[in-house]
């Protein structure tokens, strides 16, 4: 399969701004099914190639890009959904927001990497449902954390005698949110248990000390069952835990940095996993203590452990066998 032409699409809530790379021709369409069909017809006409030589490239924008993904997928059109971070790293960060300029930049990105980009595979319905449930869980957890923090501070400085209702209402809210989080988690676990392939992935990933159920679900969903990222390094970059050098010419201007444009949820979860691994895994604990004793930076060491755990997750999936801690066999 040889891609000849690229259509870059900037997806927003109401519109699709499209750009044909070779000619620079641009057009705006409404973001609905009828207009998406018209956009595809326009793209084929302006590019002058058959559907199997035309690649649509656009950023993942959650619900706003769902209709586009479903339409292109059902019509067997070639398309690639790219994390915004990848485009920004490839072309640099542009100031301001201009949909037409963004469409042009996405088309340029697609053209530069057209030989490397793989056509997107639509995730299963189960993965899509899991992703939405994860989003709801995150919102519930954040709300619960807010109430817990507020209640803790209020009980510290306010009199219980004069604020019984204030405290009681918040305590009930925390209990209610606990129940809703449990309901969502139960549903997610059932979905995984009913899908043999996802259940196998879940068991493989959680065989690694330090990685629990929440992170395992995150990895499964955001890698589309470990099919959308070629390597753990690319996923590390997506999560913002792959440091890159900050340099100019031959002189390094500063220490390696981690991008702020990353998936913050993934970064946070892997950080928790790293801390857990240091506490529960003798190998990681020994490694961490050795580096600290050598005067190494604590955060850079923690980041190395995050990457180690992620590499192991990809490795067990690739091998198809659970992780084996070889240290326990050492004499």
Q: Which residue, among 272, 271, 303, has the nearest Cα to 287 in the 3D structure?
A: 303
DSSP state of 20: E
Kindly state whether residue 202 falls inside one of the protein's structural domains: no
| CATH for 32 | 3.30.420.10
Residues 237 and 294 grouped into a single domain: yes
Residues 102 and 129 grouped into a single domain: no
Kindly state whether residue 120 falls inside one of the protein's structural domains: no
Query: Residue-wise pLDDT tens for the chain (331 aa)?
Result: 688 999 999 999 999 999 999 999 999 999 999 999 999 999 999 999 999 999 999 988 878 888 999 899 988 899 988 876 677 666 655 544 567 888 999 999 988 888 777 777 778 889 989 999 999 999 999 999 999 999 999 999 998 889 999 999 999 999 999 999 999 999 999 999 999 999 999 999 999 999 999 999 999 999 999 988 889 998 998 888 886 554 444 444 555 555 555 788 999 999 999 999 999 999 999 999 999 999 999 999 999 999 999 999 999 999 999 998 766 654 4
Residues 247 and 296 grouped into a single domain: yes
Kindly state whether residue 117 falls inside one of the protein's structural domains: no
Residue-by-residue DSSP string for 177-195: HHHHHHHHHHHHHHHHHT-
Residues 18 and 99 grouped into a single domain: yes
E strands in the chain: 5-11, 15-20, 26-30, 54-59, 78-82, 247-248, 251-252
Residues 268 and 320 grouped into a single domain: yes
- For residue 60, the number of C-alpha atoms closer than 13 Å in the C-beta half-sphere is 13
Residues 131 and 102 grouped into a single domain: no
What pLDDT sits at residue 244? Answer: 53
Q: How far apart are the first and last CA of the chain?
A: 53
Give the chain's radius of gyration (CA, Å).
Answer: 23
Kindly state whether residue 203 falls inside one of the protein's structural domains: no
Residues 106 and 133 grouped into a single domain: no
What pLDDT sits at residue 61? Answer: 81
pTM of the predicted model, to two decimals? Answer: 0.76
Which pairs count as long-range contacts for 303-307, CB under 8 Å and 24+ apart, including other chains?
Answer: 303/241, 303/243, 303/258, 303/274, 305/274, 305/277, 305/278, 306/236, 306/241, 306/270, 306/271, 306/273, 306/274, 307/232, 307/236, 307/241, 307/242
34-73 CB burial, b ≥16 within 10 A, e <16: ebbeebbebbbebbeeeeeebbbbbbebeebbebbbebbe
Kindly state whether residue 199 falls inside one of the protein's structural domains: no
Please, are residues 47 and 21 in contact by the beta-carbon 8 Å criterion?
Answer: no
Residues 225 and 294 grouped into a single domain: yes
Residues 263 and 298 grouped into a single domain: yes
Query: CA 327 to CA 158: how far, in whole Å?
Result: 52
Domain that holds residue 182: 125-194
- Domain end residue (candidates: 112, 134, 150): 112
Place of tokens 């697609």: 110
- For residue 16, the number of C-alpha atoms closer than 13 Å in the C-beta half-sphere is 31
Report how many domains make up the chain: 3
Residue 41 CB contacts under 8 Å (≥ 6 apart), including other chains: none
Kindly state whether residue 156 falls inside one of the protein's structural domains: yes
What pLDDT sits at residue 101? Answer: 87
Kindly state whether residue 208 falls inside one of the protein's structural domains: no
Residues 95 and 151 grouped into a single domain: no
Kindly state whether residue 47 falls inside one of the protein's structural domains: yes
- Domain end residue (candidates: 86, 112, 138): 112
Q: Which residue, among 122, 113, 123, 110, has the nearest Cα to 55 in the 3D structure?
A: 110
What pLDDT sits at residue 246? Answer: 45
What pLDDT sits at residue 120? Answer: 78
Residues 154 and 232 grouped into a single domain: no
Q: Which residue, among 142, 150, 76, has the nearest Cα to 158 in the 3D structure?
A: 150
Residues 284 and 226 grouped into a single domain: yes
- Domain end residue (candidates: 47, 77, 112): 112
Angle formed by the axes of helices 63-74 and 33-47, nearest 10°:
60
């Amino acid at each position: 399969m040889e891609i000849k032409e690229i259509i870059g699409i900037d997806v927003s809530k109401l519109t699709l701004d499209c750009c044909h790379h070779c000619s620079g021709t641009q057009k705006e369409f409404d973001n609905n099914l009828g207009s998406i069909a018209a956009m595809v017809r326009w793209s084929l006409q302006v590019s002058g190639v058959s559907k199997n030589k035309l690649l649509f490239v656009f950023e993942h924008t959650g619900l706003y890009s769902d209709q586009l993904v479903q339409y292109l997928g059902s019509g067997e059109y070639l398309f690639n959904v790219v994390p915004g971070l990848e485009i920004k790293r490839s072309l640099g960060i542009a100031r301001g927001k201009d949909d037409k300029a963004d469409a042009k930049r996405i088309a340029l990105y697609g053209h530069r990497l057209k030989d490397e980009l793989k056509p997107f595979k639509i995730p299963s319905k189960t993965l899509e449902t899991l992703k939405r449930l994860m989003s709801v869980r995150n919102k519930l957890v954040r709300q619960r954390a807010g109430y817990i923090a507020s209640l803790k501070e209020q009980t510290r400085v306010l009199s219980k005698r004069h604020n019984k209702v204030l405290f009681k209402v918040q305590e009930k809210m925390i209990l209610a949110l606990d129940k809703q989080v449990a309901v969502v988690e139960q549903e997610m676990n059932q979905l995984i248990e009913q899908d043999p392939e996802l259940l196998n992935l879940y068991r493989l990933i959680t065989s690694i000390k330090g990685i629990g159920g929440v992170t395992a679900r995150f990895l499964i969903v955001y890698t589309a069952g470990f099919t959308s990222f070629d390597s753990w390094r690319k996923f590390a970059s997506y999560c913002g835990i792959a440091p890159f050098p900050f340099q100019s010419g031959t002189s390094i201007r500063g220490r390696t940095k981690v991008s702020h444009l990353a998936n913050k949820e993934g970064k946070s979860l892997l950080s928790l996993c790293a801390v857990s691994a240091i506490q529960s895994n003798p190998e990681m604990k020994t490694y961490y203590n050795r580096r600290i004793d050598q005067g190494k930076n604590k955060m850079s060491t923690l980041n190395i452990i995050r990457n180690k755990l992620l590499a192991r997750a990809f490795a067990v999936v690739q091998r198809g066998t659970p992780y084996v801690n070889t240290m326990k066999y050492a004499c």
